[in-house]
């Protein structure tokens, strides 16, 4: 029989007197007492109903729906009759419930992962109320699950899962609060509670540097407190060295203890005050004994102690001023000699030595400026006198002329400058007198006198030129260019300047 044939069978109505199952029964029943076989039949039907209700779901679960065993028409008829009577669930509905069950189990699995993570983080200490509320939601989900209401079970599991997830997300803020509370406990010298807070913070964030440092400080807090109290008492009694040792021991135990660091500085200053006074006294003794260099060394040693540095520096300045004045007086004598001899660069160097001692000395500032200008003028005059042939260049001539007049404007120029200016004046006047220069070529070469004039093509020509250096350039097609350098005046004027291109250019194709 096919599944469609089974579906067409109507449900059995046990209240109908003409039930087809019993049409062939010839036994007549008494109105007051049913026959025994009827009781047997009802018992069998009841047994079948129990099998459908309790056995069939396990078979459906084990075998993927809608796989079913083939039964004959009568068996199917009986099963459907009993299932209808017991409101049995269809295979499709059972499959849907299986999916719902799986969804609920998946959510529950995530919830358990969060629970395990939070248990490892000692959640009961910092989030017990929210944690228990989330687990209560999970318990509600379990109740729904036992009732096979998997949709509501899943919803309850989700509520519990989200609660646990929120707890995990709150860990950074919980950590921040723990560190803040622990710091206050450290300040309040409550080592036990501070250690508890820092330990929990490290459980939440094992790599947290603040928590690591705090835990170490909490572990040594009692010893540190005792040492600090003892050190304070020693300071009161004037036993500064022992107090300093105690404070340093505190820092060995707790390198972040600001109180100990501050008191070390204070006690150290008090300890060194006597040493400072001794050193300063010895320095003044040396100064009075006429040993200023050694006195400065003593004052510098006192300054390095780190206290009363202004006092030590004042003594250093006083002593150095005396030394400086002596040296400045010596250098002033050298400057006077250099200026008298018109050795201006030497004067500049000595002024620099004075300013190195005291950069605010006005005589040295003004004196150096004047000496530097005279030294530059001296160099310009020497350069001009050594190279008068360059005066043919207008720019050089103008610069030299300016230098000449600057020198003439100087009052009391001195014999060296006067001699330089007289010599330069002669060169300048000489450079203004043109000299006739003869040029010869081959009437084939194009001749140019650089920066002066294009002479063109010629055989013989002449030109009046001021004394100086000149360059003539000759060009001819097919021939190498030629350059002739010559000097006019100063006894160096050539008889004839020959400019002609005689060397042909050999092309590579002819080789």
Contacts of 252 (CB under 8 A, 6+ apart): none
Contacts of 136 (CB under 8 A, 6+ apart): 160
Residue 45 is predicted with a pLDDT of 67
Provide the token pair at 235.
Answer: 């300071």
Task: Kindly report, residue by residue over 447-501, the tens digit of the pLDDT.
Answer: 999 988 999 999 999 999 989 889 999 999 999 999 999 999 888 889 999 999 9
Provide the token pair at 52.
Answer: 């459908």
Q: For residues 296 and 86, which has the higher predicted lDDT (pLDDT)?
A: 296
pLDDT at 309 over 90: no
Share of the chain above pLDDT 70, in %: 82
Share of the chain above pLDDT 90, in %: 23
CB 378 within 8 A of CB 385: no
Residue 483 is predicted with a pLDDT of 95
pLDDT at 56 over 60: no
Give the Cα separation of 240 and 245 in Å (integer): 9
Q: Report helix angle 91-120 to 150-169, nearest 10.
A: 20
- Comparing 46-50, 110-114, 222-226, 503-507, the range with the smallest average pLDDT is 46-50
- Comparing 28-42, 101-115, 236-250, 430-444, the range with the smallest average pLDDT is 28-42
Task: Kindly report, residue by residue over 475-489, the tens digit of the pLDDT.
Answer: 999 999 999 999 998
Residue 75 is predicted with a pLDDT of 44
Mean pLDDT for the chain overall:
80
Strand 435-440: give its sheet, edge to edge.
460-465, 435-440, 497-498
Mean pLDDT of 240-263: 88
Residue 25 is predicted with a pLDDT of 34
pLDDT at 93 over 60: yes
Element (H, E) at 281: helix 258-288
Measuring CA to CA, which residue among 88, 90, 84 is closest to residue 13? 84
Sign, Cα dihedral of 67, 72, 77, 78? negative
pLDDT at 27 over 60: no
pLDDT at 257 over 80: yes
Domains and CATH numbers, the chain: 3-88 (no CATH), 170-307 (no CATH), 330-430 (no CATH), 435-510 (2.60.40.1120)
Residue 387 is predicted with a pLDDT of 83
């Amino acid at each position: 029989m096919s599944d469609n044939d089974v579906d067409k069978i109507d449900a059995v109505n046990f209240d109908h007197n003409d039930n087809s199952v019993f049409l062939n029964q010839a036994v007549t029943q008494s109105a007051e007492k049913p026959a025994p076989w009827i009781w047997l039949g009802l018992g069998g039907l009841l047994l079948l109903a129990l099998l459908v209700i309790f056995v069939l779901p396990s078979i459906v679960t084990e075998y993927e729906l809608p796989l079913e065993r083939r039964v004959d028409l009568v068996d199917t008829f009986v099963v459907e009759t009993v299932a209808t009577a017991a409101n049995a669930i269809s295979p499709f509905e059972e499959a849907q419930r299986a999916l719902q069950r799986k969804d609920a189990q998946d959510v529950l699995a995530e919830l358990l992962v969060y629970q395990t993570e939070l248990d490892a983080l000692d959640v009961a200490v910092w989030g017990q109320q929210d944690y228990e509320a989330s687990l209560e939601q999970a318990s509600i989900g379990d109740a729904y699950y036992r009732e096979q209401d998997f949709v509501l079970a899943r919803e309850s599991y989700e509520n519990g899962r989200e609660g646990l997830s929120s707890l995990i997300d709150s860990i950074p803020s919980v950590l921040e609060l723990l560190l803040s509370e622990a710091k206050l406990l450290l300040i309040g010298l409550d080592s036990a509670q501070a250690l508890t807070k820092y330990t929990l913070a490290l459980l939440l964030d094992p790599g947290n540097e603040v928590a690591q440092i705090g835990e170490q400080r909490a572990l040594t807090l009692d010893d540190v407190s005792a040492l600090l109290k003892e050190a304070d008492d020693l300071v009161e009694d004037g036993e500064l060295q022992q107090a300093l040792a105690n404070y340093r021991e505190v820092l060995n135990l707790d390198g972040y203890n600001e109180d100990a660091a501050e008191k070390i500085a204070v006690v150290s200053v008090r300890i060194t005050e006597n040493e400072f006074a001794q050193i300063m006294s010895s320095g003044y003794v040396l100064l009075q004994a006429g040993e200023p260099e050694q006195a400065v060394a003593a004052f510098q040693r006192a300054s390095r102690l780190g206290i009363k540095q202004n006092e030590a520096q004042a003594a250093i300045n006083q002593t150095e001023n005396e030394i400086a004045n002596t040296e400045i007086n010596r250098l002033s004598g050298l400057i006077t000699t250099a200026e008298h001899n018109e050795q201006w660069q030497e004067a500049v160097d000595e002024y620099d030595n004075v300013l190195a001692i005291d950069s605010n000395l006005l005589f040295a500032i003004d004196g150096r400026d004047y000496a530097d200008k005279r030294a530059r003028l001296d160099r310009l005059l020497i350069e001009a006198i050594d190279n008068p042939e360059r005066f043919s260049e207008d720019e050089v001539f103008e610069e030299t002329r300016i230098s000449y007049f600057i020198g003439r404007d100087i009052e009391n120029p001195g014999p060296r400058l006067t001699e330089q200016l007289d010599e330069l004046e002669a060169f300048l006047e000489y450079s203004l007198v043109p000299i006739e220069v003869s040029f010869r070529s081959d009437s084939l070469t194009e001749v140019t006198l650089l920066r002066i004039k294009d002479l063109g093509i010629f055989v013989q020509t002449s030109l009046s030129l001021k004394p100086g250096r000149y360059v003539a350039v000759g060009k001819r097609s097919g021939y190498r260019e030629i350059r002739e350098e010559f000097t006019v005046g100063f006894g160096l004027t050539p008889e004839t300047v020959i400019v002609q291109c005689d060397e042909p250019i050999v092309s590579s194709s002819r080789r």
